[in-house]
Chains A and B, each alone.
Chain A
Amino acid sequence: MIRTIKPKNARSKRALAKKEARLIENTKTALFVPGSTSNKFLHDAMVDLMALKKPDIKKFTKKNEIRPFEDPSTLEFFSEKNDTSLMVFSSHNKKRPNTLIFTRFFNHKIYDMIELSIQQNHKLLEEFKKITFTVGLKPMFTFNGPAFDNHPVFQHLKSLFLDFFRGEETDLQDVAGLQYIIALSTGEIEDPNSSTLPLLHFRVYKLKSYKSGEKVPRIEIDEIGPRLDFKIGRRLTPAPELEKEAFMKPKQLQAKEKKNVSTDFMGDKVAQIHVGNQDLGKLQTRKMKGLKAKYDQDSEEEVFENDEIEIDEDEEMSEYESANDN
């Protein structure tokens, strides 16, 4: 835990305010941490992932002696200190070679964690020698395979990769910005009871559009890398209460239900209007002196007591008062 400090000047105050929880959240930032057993290849793989995630990245250059599945407290400290909620940690050993650990944080505490070992058939950006990524472009995603819909581990992976690479949340997308696609594929799970899961294939392609004679273009794709095949290792799932809190939607952002307004089958907007009861007693009819309130049958006596008959309506009250005084 970082000790809580009271900001002493405007700059540190602003810096702290930036870290505070917000209704509409910023894009999640990823921190890349090399473990003490990291190697050249893992470093290069992380650089490629960084290229995809830019500009929302932070990276460490020094190696860190951490075992995330045994003691994640250091990672939580890093997350809080750097205000990052995604983390990639690299490690390499005999049992789990070339491993990246993808961690997500909620309130700077571990939310979930999954261990992915890169298989031997990898091919990095460098080896493809194709284009590099434009910083800040939103990628498209495709998830191939039914496992992403029904298997908990793959659902986790789907959520993780979407969360990791989707970039800024926006409601307007430039058509020219639809340039590359991240494809995650997995084979069929042959035996649902066995603990071995099929590999996760991570591919990135660039889109090429051709004339099709129709409004939509014919799309062809060209692999630009990185090409990584992941073997799924250990995994940490969030506690149900934590999950519930993390998925909560702020009430303020939910659209208010519009009452009495609907669209009919013709597409016209139809509304129901409620009007209060009309008070017919106050209905304005033709104005005539004889119809004034003071000539009403009930107040007849008073009128005759008071000799002055022609009084302005405004002065009526005061006249009554003076009459009573007499």
Chain B
Amino acid sequence: MSDKEYKPVTVDKPIPNTFDLGNLATFDPNPLDNTKLNNEEEKEKHLTEVTRDNVQLLINQILSLPLKTTTDTHGSSTGQDSTMTLVQLPEPTTLLPREKSIPKEKPLTRWQQFALRKGIRSKAKDGKMVYDEETGEWVPKWGYKGKNKEMDNQWLVELNANTKNTEEELIDPRTLKRAERKKLIKKNELQHKRNLKNRA
């Protein structure tokens, strides 16, 4: 085959185009012919010609970017592998307005401030379940049938030595334990509220 059969892939422009390949866009600074644009017959032809040249330039630019070939089962219902050629696009250069303002960083809670000052690192999470050696089962640390409620439905409970000779001596230790738990929850809620207030 001779070269003459093919139309050229190069385009000559008086002023070269600029590109924003991140947005797959090209900007042609060459003015369009107003007389052709005002003429109904020539208008569409002129627009198409100009656009074709610019598309050719844009495609030339895009295909000169680094390519990446991947083998993926990409959305095919037959499950057959197909290779995809991906173009690695650069960052977009045309600045566009954001949709919402940049999210503000949340201020540290009191505990986080304290931990930072003292250099305390947060413990790795070891899950909600804990092993109960008596029954040989995994039970939740808190919540429904939680480990911290163990005492609640035991028929015999040891008295706490600390409550001896105080006014709490005659109160059921189960009730005391429960009240203590409820108090902790209240305290935590208060702290949470205070942190929220400081954040606002």
Contacts and interface: CB of A to CB of B under 8 A. Distances in A.
Interface of A: 20-23, 25-26, 28, 85, 104-108, 111, 121, 138-146, 148-149, 158-159, 162-163, 166, 169-176, 178, 181, 183, 185-188, 190, 198-199, 201, 203, 205, 207, 209-221, 223, 238, 243, 245-248, 250
Contacts of A216: 9, 59-60, 63-64
Interface residues of B, number: 58
Contacts of B88: 171-172
Given A25-B100, A215-B63, A247-B98, A185 B26 contact: no
B30 to A, nearest CB: 7
Interface string B60-76: 10111001100000000
A306 B1 CA distance: 103
A214 B50 CA distance: 22
Contacts of B155: none
Contacts of B96: 159, 162-163
A146 B30 contact: yes
Given A21-B102, A21-B103, A185-B32, A142 B55 contact: yes
B50 A185 contact: yes
Contact of A218 (B9, B38, B100): B9
A141 B94 CA distance: 12
Nearest to A112: B97
Interface of B: 1, 3, 5-9, 22-32, 34, 37-38, 40, 44, 47-48, 50-52, 54-56, 58-60, 62-64, 67-68, 84-92, 94-103
Contact of B50 (A144, A169, A247): A144
Contacts of B38: 187
A23 B103 CA distance: 7
Given A159-B94, A172-B89, A247-B95, A187 B25 contact: no
Contacts of B54: 142, 144, 183
